[in-house]
Structure 1
Amino acid sequence: MPDSETTVQSSPADTYDVGVDNEREGDGEGVALHKHTIAVSHNGIAARQKEREEALLPRVISRERLQTTGEEIANTISHGLMAAGALVFAPNLLSHAAEHGDTVTVVGTAVFVASMFILYLGSTIYHAVPTRCTALKAWFRLVDHTVIYLLIAGTYTPFILEVLDDPWRWPFLVAEWGLAVGGILFKLCGDSHAHPQASTGFYLVMGWIGILAAKPLLAVMPIPGIIWLVAGGLSYSLGVIFYATDHVVPFGHLLWHFFVMGGT
């Protein structure tokens, strides 16, 4: 006759159950296993998301190093002041244009003021976003670099509309804004991260395209206006040096900001 005690062999389910919640089958195994599965799933998704963000961070936000907290605070304040200044002085600029010019003058001035405000606002937000917010900071970095094309084209627009006569005016306006659109599309659709020099080249070409119209500009534009135009171009161009080396020069990006502000 068999013994009164029956030998119970442990099953894989029982063994797993003990590992999950230290209970026997029928004492909450289903609930514990369900919770364990969800936790593993969530942890896996979070881990993969973290890996993607960590891979995105050095490629999108910085070439070799991230800006320090102090640098980002300085960057935010510098361009934040310019964004506020654009709003403060916009009414005066527009009223002056309306008083001393015509509709074309007002339109050109409005384009410049709008592009200036958009650039400095975008830059301020980008630098204010904490580095730990990887995806958001990467998105605003794209905005920050894209609106540079708008500022360059917006800066040239009043000069082109107000100073240049036909047949120079419209070809130059189309060329400048065509380059701006091309640069923006390159940033949005192209592999600009792999070719940062191409973006810088776009900026410089757009900034110095006015040389092609030097003769008609000199013929009709007052000397002080020429001096200011050249000084602005030089300020942007010299600032590129600090932009290109901001990953090795402490507060180099802030210096780039100062040169951009000077050019504006």
Structure 2
Amino acid sequence: MMRKVNSYQRFMNTRALANCRYQPTCYEHAANFYTHALLIVPAFVGMTLLHVLSDNSWERITAWVYGVGLCGLFVVSTVFHIITWKKSHMRSVEQCFHMCDRVVIYVFIAASYTPWLNLRELGPLAAHMRWFVWLMAAAGTIYVFIYHERYKLVELAFYLTMGFFPASVVTSMSNTDGLHELAYGGLIYCLGVFFFKSDGVIPFAHAIWHVFVALAAAVHYYAIWKYLYKTPSAESLLHSL
């Protein structure tokens, strides 16, 4: 049993104290970096595809907002993890990117809802969610810059509230196509939160969380592509060639 515990110590440090940041091992740093770095190019390709499929300027703007949120999530996460992996002596830079890594999650959540709020018919009250979701992202950003790493459970509650509250509007739409995929993606995110809070308990917990984020984002992207943007017909593709 002791030998088994020692073998885990190569891949996982002890759990961080309250209000302190967990320090990954070099193996965990590498896993944290690659699990998001490898998704940057697919995210840009996905954003470009939605632009190509857009029929009007409103769809193009929506694709841009969603795509920037998607790409930004993976780019900022990758930059932050490579800075911490390389043990940069510029602590202020590392702290800045750690805060940006937290802020971009709020932006990503708002951007993920934007296609559904922009491209589906909404009632007069539900239409306010288009800007309210960004107001919540702004509030989360302010919280990060004031209380960064001070109240971790409060920050987690912020993420979950922002993730579920706009869903009440989306699920009330008359057109329910794609809601099953939205629910599946949300469930994957929720399951991943267990690993998000398991640094120092489960080896590579944060990298596993990254995988859950990638899977959930892929499910949501598929729903947006399938139900909100038109796939060009084979005939139109042949003419374009």
Q: Indicate whether 1:186 and 2:143 are aligned.
A: yes
Q: How many residue pairs get matched?
A: 199
Q: Indicate whether 1:68 and 2:25 are aligned.
A: yes
Q: Indicate whether 1:216 and 2:172 are aligned.
A: yes
Q: CA deviation at 1:249?
A: 1.4
Distance 2:106 2:170 in 1: 21
Give 2:108's match in structure 1, choosing from 141, 145, 151. 151
Cα 1:166–1:214 shift into 2, 3 Å: closer
Distance 2:135 2:17 in 1: 28
- Superposed CA RMSD in Å reads 2.1
Q: CA deviation at 1:239?
A: 1.1
State the partner residue of 2:77: 123
Q: CA deviation at 1:216?
A: 2.8
Which residues of structure 1 form unaligned runs of 5+? 1-57
Superposed, 1:188-203 pairs within 5 Å as 188=145, 190-203=146-159
Which residues of structure 2 form unaligned runs of 5+? 1-15, 218-241
Q: TM-score, normalization: structure 2?
A: 0.76
* Preserved contact between residue 192 and residue 198 of structure 1 (Cα < 8 Å): no
Q: Indicate whether 1:82 and 2:39 are aligned.
A: yes
Cα 1:209–1:176 shift into 2, 3 Å: same
Q: CA deviation at 1:252?
A: 0.2
* Preserved contact between residue 245 and residue 252 of structure 1 (Cα < 8 Å): yes
Q: TM-score, normalization: structure 1?
A: 0.70
Q: CA deviation at 1:81?
A: 1.2
Distance 1:140 1:214 in 2: 32
Give 2:207's match in structure 1, choosing from 246, 251, 254. 254
Name whichever structure is richer in helix by fraction: 1
Q: Indicate whether 1:226 and 2:179 are aligned.
A: yes
Cα 1:59–1:192 shift into 2, 3 Å: farther
Distance 2:109 2:216 in 1: 10
State the partner residue of 1:263: 216
State the SS of the aligned residue for 1:220.
coil
Q: Deviations over 1:31-88 (max 9, x none)?
A: xxxxxxxxxxxxxxxxxxxxxxxxxxx789953x411111111111111111121122
Give the counterpart letter for 2:193 in structure 1: V
Distance 1:243 1:215 in 2: 27
State the partner residue of 1:235: 188
| RCO higher in structure (CA 8 A, sep ≥6) | 2
Q: Deviations over 1:212-236 (max 9, x none)?
A: 225532x2131xx011111121121
Distance 1:147 1:207 in 2: 13
Q: Deviations over 1:102-129 (max 9, x none)?
A: 3222222211100111111000011111
State the SS of the aligned residue for 1:216.
coil
Q: Deviations over 1:171-215 (max 9, x none)?
A: 111221111000001001x22322111111111111111342255
Aligned-pair identity (%): 27
Q: CA deviation at 1:141?
A: 1.0
Distance 1:207 1:121 in 2: 21
Cα 1:111–1:169 shift into 2, 3 Å: farther
Distance 1:214 1:120 in 2: 25
